[in-house]
Amino acid sequence: MKVFAHRGFSHKHPEMTQIAYQAAIEAGVDGFECDVRLTKDKEIMCFHDSDTKRITGKRKLVSRVSAQELIRDANTMGLEELLLMAIEAKKDLLIESKHPVLSSGEIEYRTMDLINKYKQEIDRAGIEVVVISFSFWAVRRVEKSDAKCAKVIRYGISALFARYEYVAIKITTLKRYPFLINLMRAKRIYVWTVNSKEDLRWLKKREIYGVITDRPKRALKILKN
C-alpha cells in the first residue's frame, strides 16, 4: 500500500509549500498529493481554496491574483516546481484539479501540457503522475488525453455508480460501506484523508492501492510494518 503526503507533510508544515513536500520526502513517502488552480496570469499553482482567506487572512480570489502575488502572500509553489521536485525525488504525484471554476477545463488542458512537457523525465524517474478530480467532466477531459486519472468520490451513492479504473474515496464513506471496495470494481483505490491510527489499521487489512494522509510518518509506521 502506497503512502501519499496530502498537500505535503501538512500535519507539521504549511500545506503545499516546499518545506512540507521536502519533509514528506524525508519521511519516506511513496508520493505527493496536491490541488491546483489557475491564477489571473494562467499559471498552475498548488492551492486548495478558491480564495486566500484561510491561508493569508485576506480574501483574494486565486483566479484574480498573479502567480507571484500568490507565492508572495501564501508561500505556495507552482505545479511545475512540484513536478520537478517529484521527478528528482522519484515520488509519484496525484494532482487534483479543483472545480467549479470560471476557466472550465483550462486547468486540465494546461496540466496535461505540463505533464507532456516532462514526459521523458517522468518516465526516466520511474514515477507515475495521476490527475484526480471530483468533476465528472474534468475526468473525461483527462481520459480523452490517454493520461492516468481518478474520480474522487465523497458519498456512497456516487460510488454505487462509479465505473472508473481508478477512484479516490473518502475514508468515512469507505468505512461505512466497506462493500464498495468490491462493488466499484476499480483496479486501483486511493483513500483520503486518513490520519487516525484506527483508520490506518482498518485500511491495512483491505485491498487498497494508496492512502492519502496529513500524517505520513504515522501512516508509514502502521502500513509498512
Domain total of the chain: 1
Strand segments (E) across the chain = 2-6, 31-38, 44-46, 92-97, 129-133, 149-153, 166-170, 188-192, 210-213
Residue 105 counted as domain residue: no
Range of the domain at 130: 2-36+89-99+115-223
Peptide bond into 100 cis (omega under 30): yes
Residue 146's pLDDT is: 82
Residue 225's pLDDT is: 84
Alpha helices in 101-155 (DSSP H): 106-117, 119-125, 136-144
Residue 46 counted as domain residue: no
Q: What confidence tens digit (pLDDT) does each residue in 142-156 have?
A: 999 888 999 999 999
Once rounded to an integer, what is the mean pLDDT over residues 109-113?
A: 97
Asked if the model's pLDDT at residue 6 lies above 90, the reply is: yes
Once rounded to an integer, what is the mean pLDDT over residues 35-59?
A: 98
Residues 6+ apart with CB under 8 A from 99: 133, 134, 135, 137, 138
- Report the distance separating Cα 62 and Cα 41, nearest Å: 10
Residue 193: give its domain's CATH number: 3.20.20.190
Confidence of residue 101 (pLDDT cuts 50, 70, 90): very high
Which run of H or E residues covers position 81? Answer: helix 79-89
- Report the distance separating Cα 165 and Cα 188, nearest Å: 6
Residue 50 counted as domain residue: no
Coil vs helix vs strand at 167: strand
C-alpha cell at 15: 500545506
| C-beta separation of 168 from 147 below 8 A | no
Confidence of residue 158 (pLDDT cuts 50, 70, 90): confident
Residue 71 counted as domain residue: no
Residue 76 counted as domain residue: no
Residue 77 counted as domain residue: no
Residue 176 counted as domain residue: yes
